[in-house]
Structure 1
């Protein structure tokens, strides 16, 4: 048995979860005003550029910190990162925790900023 690459793991994870374009994410947010948009990049990355309307919970502490933001399993949660890989792994983890309405915003951070504006 050979080891899977990160790219293979991310691709498999994305295939099993709901992925959105930045445009679709913005439209979904207009329907769900309480949607939580989580940026799972590291704080240093967020300090350089940050999409408007996002909160930063780094991927490494997401499972420990998410309940500070919501304990509602039906709350709409959108997850993004720099390119979509960490967001996919984070969304899978949130789903395993019991959150039922989790989507990946599958784009670069710059594409998201183009749609949402910069914070």
Structure 2
């Protein structure tokens, strides 16, 4: 039986850490974490959170491995709705990153928390 995207996202979120934008920003300041926006570059150019790094989901594993070779680096992922960030977090965990969190809120909330 096929699963819908919301069903898959819900099951991913059960296995990963999900945080609010405010918590992600506070933790990043404490633990030298990084907030990664996994949307496409055109989306990022239209509206993005301060201090977020844009690495599109399709390039994530390759670029994160190059930019952040430490498996213990705290990584906080977001997108517009949480779906792409959930899939991206699942992949980074598979690659071996130990501290991957999904920021579970709308883009506006992430932008506001990062200001």
1:89 aligned partner:
87
Pick aligned residue for 1:108 from 73, 90, 106? 106
1:7 partnered with 2:32: no
Give 1:28-107 correspondences, 5 Å limit. Answer: 28-32=27-31, 34-107=32-105
- For structure 2, which runs of at least 5 residues remain unmatched after alignment? none
Give the drift of 1:40. 0.1
- For structure 1, which runs of at least 5 residues remain unmatched after alignment? none
TM-score (norm 2): 0.96
- 1:24-83 per-position Cα deviation (integer Å, ceiling 9, x unaligned): 112211211x21111000001001001011111100111121122111010101100001
Once residues 110 and 92 of structure 1 are traced to their aligned partners in structure 2, the CA distance between those partners, rounded to angstroms, is 23
Spell out structure 1 runs of 4+ moving beyond 6 A. none
Once superposed, what is the RMSD of the aligned Cα atoms?
Answer: 0.8
- 1:59-114 per-position Cα deviation (integer Å, ceiling 9, x unaligned): 01111211221110101011000010000100010000000011001111111111
